[in-house]
Chain A
């Protein structure tokens, strides 16, 4: 199987879906001539032309809303936010327009569109450029929210997102674009709303998504050397969330750590813990522990940033704690 970067896997998905359906177009800042701020759209302008790969002014609310309007009359826009930090300016269109249009119109106007871009922190970008928004977006009925952690998932899920007739939020990882993984050569899609057990284990579940999947795999590798077998559940989609996969894992291991990039209060992990207490109350041998970003804006200084972020060390400590290993 070919090995691709996460970036190239996304690029393939875009190229294949643009070729498949001429109603699909990509719009955002620097997506065309500049080939994308993170080069995800590299080469697409040359291949598909300026009506389908569209550079915009820096006007997130405007072009997100333009995408919504075009979807109301049958186009299938892919709206790229240079980062989801900037998408805050466009949330009225994502939440009030895209997510609710079908409902408000009594089923007349579905929204076949994708909002995508990098989410979460990178390195030393400090407070305004280092935020993971999935819990905000997953809160909204009418949106599907996808958080792929690997190149293969990124490609298969982006293709599904583009083909979906509903508004889909697609959260990429800025630090994932250069990561590599095997990606099937033949045509495939991955169903939205299905988790995947990325690694089988019987001692403790780590339930995670997005960029933290890689961290969870590091944790599993490290702990395996100590004889602790971790079951890594990659949610892949956080809305709809695969409750069955969570329950199956926790019923097997009886212990769980929930690992996420964002803040604690009302974070994705809080929702996962709720599902666990609902579905697995009698299966638990220990309270569930959450690992997340410190409850502070992201600092710039290297040492403070490291202290703020969830990482393998913090997750290992959490696994040991739920296993009462000190």
Chain B
């Protein structure tokens, strides 16, 4: 098999369209359909979960800063679908969707958002600081770009131990202007660290359009400065995300080389719960136009057109996700507030090596 054919097969595989073996009927295989359904399930779970987050925020059950991921779910679903269980994720404060896509228990996430003791961080972190060591989910960090060096450090540790895991780091496009991003990319490339740096370009850093903040809007071009592969992806297409992430993860895993990927996406909500989805820094028309490329709709329509998903199946899948979210809500609501003595715990551990 030539290298080109092999790459092509890999791409088809990530799209859920593996080349047929001899004798099989044409069309998607059951595994391929299962993969597509799982991507759809992951995105729907994130969407329904965050719709409940908005509701809970309005009711005062969630406080503080709360940044929703709605519209960007193909990035987390596609990425997590190419990762191994022992890989790592480091992300920013817009972290609910990625946590769920990685497999964090929705109960644990919702309880954290509600500030309850059964939250993943015992109610001490909140929306911006989701952590789950058991699935390699290393936060949830609140300073723009500040966590990008952390991802380089995780990748450093992988190399130090001669492991073959990969660390994926997510951040918004506004982070490409901050020093920490540049310092981390330089070290990652200089030292050949197995990291994938994912720019979630939703075109607005809070309320500032990328054109008003970034001299070169072609943010993947930053990769060239660090002798790194740079790519730009239509991230409303979950298969395009899988393709690009698959390549980048392979490069990191097999050759220990980092990649910078721009995921071109939209967020359908405001930056946080304090700004309107449109009407201030972006127009209603722009928002409505972007919502036509809802990643869930795109996958849904594709599967419908190829006869892989009936209305009934979709409704059932959707109801299942809603039920999971209701269960998470009920669990979080019933979970106690952290006991006051927890105020002074988890500041230090008592151990030494």
Contacts and interface: CB of A to CB of B under 8 A. Distances in A.
Contacts of A109: 131, 133, 138-139
A76 B353 contact: yes
Contacts of B346: 102-103, 105-107
Contacts of B300: none
Interface in A41-89: 51, 56-57, 59, 61-77
B347 interface: yes
Contacts of B183: 57, 59, 61-63, 65
B124 A66 contact: no
Interface stretch (B36-44, B59-67, B146-154, B319-327): B146-154
Interface in A92-138: 92-93, 96-97, 101-110, 112
A106 B124 CA distance: 6
Interface stretch (A146-154, A161-169, A307-315, A316-324): A161-169
A141 interface: yes
Contacts of B154: 69-70, 72-73
A93 B146 contact: yes
Interface string B118-160: 0111111100010111000011111100111111111111111
B186 A57 contact: yes
B157 A74 contact: yes
A91 to B, nearest CB: 11
A104 B140 contact: yes
A64 B150 CA distance: 9
A108 B157 contact: no
Counting chain B residues whose Cβ lies within 8 A of the other chain, the interface size class is 35 or more
A104 B128 CA distance: 9
Contacts of B138: 69, 72-73, 109
B179 A61 contact: yes
**Secondary structure of the B contact surface, majority rule:** mixed
Interface of B: 88, 90, 119-125, 129, 131-133, 138-143, 146-160, 167, 179-180, 183-184, 186-187, 190, 345-349, 351-353
Interface residues of A, number: 48
Contact of B184 (A66, A75, A110, A165): A66
B352 A69 contact: no
B125 A105 contact: yes
Contacts of B186: 57, 59, 62
A46 to B, nearest CB: 19
Nearest to A112: B353
24 contacts: A23-B353, A59-B186, A62-B149, A62-B152, A62-B180, A63-B183, A64-B149, A65-B146, A65-B152, A66-B150, A68-B149, A69-B149, A69-B151, A70-B154, A70-B160, A72-B153, A93-B149, A96-B142, A97-B141, A97-B150, A104-B124, A112-B353, A165-B349, A165-B352
